[in-house]
């Protein structure tokens, strides 16, 4: 089986071929499927596993392994009983810009579905991390993130009740929390600290987002402060690893 030698910028070095030159069968099939994906374009329907196995003269399990990796990488998605080419990943900037702004810049329609909005005394761990006072009332707001009605993430926001006392009455949970703070309450964001890691969703989280539990997720922890340096919010956001990438501008 011939292997494509095209080396695009950003691709793995030597297209992922080991120095000894022996290519696993599934990886060779994956490379051919990558070319087929480009030919079909977004929404294009792939042939069946049986047809692909016959075309590339490999076992169906070899095809399945190649398809599994392409699904996890977000290049393919399941649709009904078939597999189709997925659209490009959403690029979310690592900045103080909101999720809403990031999605809109790419021509997609952002949205959110409220799962819960609870009020409880601030526990010690949260107080220490977010610069709050132990026992003071805090809000916890959990929302599913949407892009063109597709579930792409899960966001948990913790904020002191003293900063947003009427959150449960005058905030539209489908809208931007940042816009609410700035436009309605006159609170501006000063800076934030973020930490990113790769995790697997819990069974509950996977159910809410609508993904298999084995799908890798990008988890962002953020602690934000206002323009006066006072603690403002603590956010935990899960993003689908197959639907998101993150960008940052680095200055010298």
Token reading at 244:
């998101």
Rounded alpha-carbon distances, angstroms, from residue 250 to 93, 95, 107, 162, 193: 12, 11, 25, 35, 15
Q: How far apart are CA 71 and CA 79, in angstroms?
A: 12
pLDDT tens column, 40-75:
988 899 999 999 999 999 999 999 989 988 887 778
Give pLDDT, residue 23. 77
Which residues of the chain have a pLDDT value below 70?
A: 1-21, 91, 93-98, 251-252
Strand residues in 161-243 grouped as ranges (E): 189-200, 216-226, 231-240
Query: Hey, is 54 helix, strand or coil?
Result: helix
Q: End-to-end distance of the chain based on CA atoms, in angstroms?
A: 46
Token reading at 249:
């501008």
pLDDT tens column, 137-154:
999 999 999 989 889 999
Give pLDDT, residue 3. 40
Give pLDDT, residue 1. 41
Q: How far apart are CA 22 and CA 20, in angstroms?
A: 6
């Amino acid at each position: 089986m011939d292997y494509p030698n095209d080396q695009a910028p950003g691709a793995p070095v030597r297209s992922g071929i080991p120095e000894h030159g022996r290519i696993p069968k599934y990886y060779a099939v994956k490379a051919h499927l990558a070319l087929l994906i480009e030919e079909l374009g977004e929404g294009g329907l792939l042939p069946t596993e049986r047809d692909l196995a016959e075309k590339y003269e490999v076992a169906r399990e070899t095809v399945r392994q190649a398809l599994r990796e392409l699904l996890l990488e977000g290049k393919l998605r399941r649709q009904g009983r078939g597999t189709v080419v997925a659209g490009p990943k959403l690029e979310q900037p690592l900045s103080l810009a909101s999720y809403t702004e990031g999605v809109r810049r790419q021509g997609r329609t952002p949205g959110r579905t409220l799962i819960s909005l609870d009020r409880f005394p601030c526990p010690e761990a949260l107080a220490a991390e977010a610069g709050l006072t132990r026992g003071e009332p805090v809000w916890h707001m959990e929302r599913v993130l949407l892009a063109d009605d597709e579930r792409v993430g899960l966001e948990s926001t913790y904020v002191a009740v003293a900063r947003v006392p009427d959150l449960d009455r005058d905030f539209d949970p489908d809208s931007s929390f940042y816009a609410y703070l700035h436009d309605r309450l006159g609170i501006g964001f000063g800076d934030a600290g973020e930490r990113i890691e790769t995790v697997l969703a819990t069974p509950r989280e996977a159910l809410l987002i609508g993904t298999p539990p084995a799908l890798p997720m990008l988890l962002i922890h953020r602690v934000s402060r206002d323009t006066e340096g006072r603690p403002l919010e603590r956010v935990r956001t899960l993003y689908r690893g197959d639907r998101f990438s993150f960008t940052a501008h680095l200055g010298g």
